[in-house]
Structure 1
């Protein structure tokens, strides 16, 4: 058996050490009750939310409302309209009925108090004094309630608490004189302010959450394993398949260097191949590894960007070969061409028929952009034969076996593989020279992919370790077996 401690000396720091980590304990099968399912759902929800906050730097809480053209949206609109109509009728009756207005003032006070910080001692006391609901009810009974005075205080308080981005809304509030419109807009802006406060708190806590993310997610996932036995079956199959593919791809070692005639597999190589496979996962295959399930949408999006970058690079390469490399050096030409290709290919990679049509449109637009570029260079226009050739070469990129598409795809995959092999905290490799125009996009994509992968390794290393140990270092007497059988 090879000395796997020596083999792992050059591994990235987030690859699990197979001789040290033990499999986290699962739990025996149990009867599934409604309370068990609710606890399981809560655990998954908390884990997903924490993961999204840490991994997605652009994550923000947004106001949720149903689409206006949906049944739920139409019902909500009808209910809201009826509510405000009742309020208007009550305020315009003689004498005015303030029952619903008092209820709204109570709601406004509660929302304002929720926006206060511990240091807002004076403002809290002022809110309790001005929006004293018992006093307001006494004023209603005496017929002396001054809604305009209370509205002015509310808008002034909101102006002092809101973020600068809400200043236009506050100015609009101060222009309203109709009490119904004012109440409606006050509640809407207060909801926005609550969202702003939550997002500000989230931004402040994100560095702390990032430091605690790995142990927190690992502990939460362990809870899931206790509640749901057999939750790593797909993960095991995923790693087994990657080990089989990596073993088949290894070239024979020099004679005498390895009794098995092949180089030994390393945990890093198997994991890298497994993660690379997620970029082009068959959408019909529902056996997605459980440990990466929370990032499936992100990885699918990255996979689509990989395909798009490869097609963009292939079109640029064909254009340069047919029209001369000087065309790509014109200021703004490459950027305009990339935008055109991205717009025409968006959403077309999934089906060959869609990709065919999109690439035909790309070929026509490339010719449209090339004509003025050649004229600006002072060169002759592209001949009809050259136009037909370029149009046909671009259209032929729909075939997965197209040699240009295959070559570019291999270069892109190789760059992403090298980025993973570099490991966290190390300088990423330079993009291949032939992908120069795509270099910045490729580096950004590689950095996102690498961060995602290395975070996943850090969290789930203890769960991968026993599977990899069984695949790469089987007990004596089983070393001759094929991995994954």
Structure 2
């Protein structure tokens, strides 16, 4: 382990070294994080490092090539030829163990790469049992017990593997054919190596956070040095947010946005800029460069947000007409929410799909309300049926009054989440958003994490842009003030 890695890992003896893990065939690269950071491609390295640190679910996965592809067919032919050749060698009289010895050496090397520093006794056992010189002597004298060696290998794998691999280890134990045994051992070892790499990434993530912030800044600066115009979209994005914030201030001079000097607060502009990303026009190609690595995550949150807004709108419309009668019924709200979520699933991409989904949803909600009223001995007048279906169908419009009202309330909730740094401390939500509080809190937490990490990393790049936008030219501070600006961004406080 390199000195940097030891320092990042805090010198812990319980963390394996990624540098000793050789990639199995068909598995993803498992180079150490430090070596990944040394590669020359700034953009790809920046994206990978960012993904590892921001995405807590990030993990390497074994790569599989579909057999239907040319690559898959070639790989299958080569692998089958190799194992068939090994089968012939072991079936000959006397058996030929030349290739089997090579495989045993690779198995030993792989098992050693999975050992932790504390596995002193197990390492000694590996050296003793899988002593290749001794095994060659046993082969020369016809005394090699391959099944005994395989049994030791499987027992060692059992002691090292994650619990999720236990069923696969048990399946290997049931095999009798030595070729099948070796083939499955290599397959499961490949999975174990991937598990170990993912464990190491998870273990090192807390230690690498601050280093990653500096690394992302450095790589982004290198990109900026090569392409000076790389911040143009970011500047336009912040300028648009500042203009919208100023419009709000002019309309409501008593708004809490500006500071005591009547200037917009940079953190308020930044928060609003990120809010705008949740309703970003997918046709707009001018996505801010500093947020490109999180675009997929923000798009996902945006789709989830729109679905929650529509769900809350349907609940509000239904409650406005029949809330006192049917919303008190046990299970009605839960069943209604399930129907809304199911019918709106995947309808966000095209306007026509959303119209069709809402039309169908209107009929479903009408049916559920009718059944609920019928269970109480009542009925739903035809006029009320038509009104409810029409109101729900009309939610496809972005400027629909109910949808706009719910959107503003959700927007206020998310802004409070950003300002308060915790969705749990945000103000109570009015009906019907209170019914969706858990989902909104989860969304707000995920959104806040992206925003705060982005501001921490790119604060030094945002600061000069915001200074030019928000301060009069004669009040612009000299360059040395940029350090204070950066600190303020990192702590979430005022920039100016």
Which range, TM-score by smaller chain? 0.7 to 0.9
Following superposition, the deviation at residue 107 of structure 1 comes to 1.6
Secondary structure of the residue that 2:95 maps to in structure 1? coil
What's the CA shift string for 1:49-69, capped at 9, x where partnerless? 332232222222222223444
The answer to whether the 8 Å contact 2:108/2:126 transfers is yes
Residue of structure 2 in register with 1:396 after alignment: 394
Q: Mapping of 1:249-260 within 5 angstroms?
A: 249-252=248-251
CA distance in 1, matches of 2:100, 2:437: 61
Residue of structure 1 in register with 2:296 after alignment: 297
The structure-2 alpha-carbon separation of the partners of 1:441 and 1:477, relative to structure 1 and needing over 3 Å to count, comes to: closer
CA distance in 2, matches of 1:286, 1:143: 70
Residue of structure 1 in register with 2:362 after alignment: 363
- In structure 2, list runs of 5 or more residues that go unmatched: 1-36, 255-260, 477-496
Match of 2:405 among 404, 407, 412: 407
CA distance in 2, matches of 1:78, 1:323: 66
**Larger mean Cα displacement after TM superposition, 176-185 or 79-88:** 79-88
Secondary structure of the residue that 2:429 maps to in structure 1? coil
CA distance in 1, matches of 2:166, 2:316: 50
Following superposition, the deviation at residue 472 of structure 1 comes to 0.9
The structure-2 alpha-carbon separation of the partners of 1:382 and 1:425, relative to structure 1 and needing over 3 Å to count, comes to: closer
TM-score by length of 1: 0.82
TM-score by length of 2: 0.80
Residue of structure 2 in register with 1:235 after alignment: 234
Residue of structure 2 in register with 1:110 after alignment: 109
Give the total of aligned pairs: 434
Following superposition, the deviation at residue 323 of structure 1 comes to 2.6
CA distance in 2, matches of 1:296, 1:461: 18
Residue of structure 2 in register with 1:436 after alignment: 434
The answer to whether the 8 Å contact 1:310/1:412 transfers is yes
Following superposition, the deviation at residue 306 of structure 1 comes to 1.0
The answer to whether the 8 Å contact 1:312/1:342 transfers is yes
What's the CA shift string for 1:369-408, capped at 9, x where partnerless? 33443345x2413233333322222122112222222222
**Larger mean Cα displacement after TM superposition, 443-452 or 264-273:** 264-273
What's the CA shift string for 1:14-63, capped at 9, x where partnerless? xxxxxxxxxxxxxxxxxxxxxxxx98753333332332232222222222
Tell which has more relative contact order, 1 or 2 (C-alpha 8 A, sep 6+). 1
Following superposition, the deviation at residue 292 of structure 1 comes to 1.0
Residue of structure 1 in register with 2:60 after alignment: 61
- 2:388 pairs with 1:385: no
Residue of structure 2 in register with 1:308 after alignment: 307
Residue of structure 2 in register with 1:31 after alignment: none
Residue of structure 2 in register with 1:225 after alignment: 224
The answer to whether the 8 Å contact 2:413/2:426 transfers is no
- In structure 1, list runs of 5 or more residues that go unmatched: 1-37, 256-261, 479-485
Following superposition, the deviation at residue 449 of structure 1 comes to 1.0
The structure-2 alpha-carbon separation of the partners of 1:391 and 1:93, relative to structure 1 and needing over 3 Å to count, comes to: farther
CA distance in 2, matches of 1:326, 1:82: 72
CA distance in 2, matches of 1:114, 1:186: 15
The answer to whether the 8 Å contact 1:232/1:289 transfers is yes
Following superposition, the deviation at residue 254 of structure 1 comes to 6.5
Residue of structure 1 in register with 2:489 after alignment: none
Secondary structure of the residue that 1:250 maps to in structure 2? helix
CA distance in 2, matches of 1:236, 1:453: 17
The answer to whether the 8 Å contact 2:358/2:393 transfers is yes
The structure-2 alpha-carbon separation of the partners of 1:123 and 1:70, relative to structure 1 and needing over 3 Å to count, comes to: same
CA distance in 1, matches of 2:457, 2:275: 18
- 2:367 pairs with 1:340: no
**Larger mean Cα displacement after TM superposition, 338-347 or 274-283:** 338-347
Following superposition, the deviation at residue 246 of structure 1 comes to 2.2
Residue of structure 2 in register with 1:92 after alignment: 91
Q: Mapping of 1:174-213 within 5 angstroms?
A: 174-213=173-212
The structure-2 alpha-carbon separation of the partners of 1:247 and 1:254, relative to structure 1 and needing over 3 Å to count, comes to: closer
Secondary structure of the residue that 1:96 maps to in structure 2? coil
The answer to whether the 8 Å contact 1:40/1:227 transfers is no
**Larger mean Cα displacement after TM superposition, 108-117 or 230-239:** 230-239
Secondary structure of the residue that 1:470 maps to in structure 2? helix
The answer to whether the 8 Å contact 1:362/1:394 transfers is yes
**Larger mean Cα displacement after TM superposition, 145-154 or 427-436:** 427-436
Secondary structure of the residue that 1:230 maps to in structure 2? helix
The answer to whether the 8 Å contact 1:250/1:263 transfers is no
Following superposition, the deviation at residue 122 of structure 1 comes to 2.1
The root-mean-square deviation of aligned C-alpha atoms, in Å, is 2.7
The answer to whether the 8 Å contact 1:431/1:439 transfers is yes
Secondary structure of the residue that 1:168 maps to in structure 2? helix
**Larger mean Cα displacement after TM superposition, 458-467 or 314-323:** 314-323
CA distance in 2, matches of 1:70, 1:241: 47
CA distance in 2, matches of 1:477, 1:212: 34
The structure-2 alpha-carbon separation of the partners of 1:82 and 1:367, relative to structure 1 and needing over 3 Å to count, comes to: farther
CA distance in 2, matches of 1:202, 1:314: 42
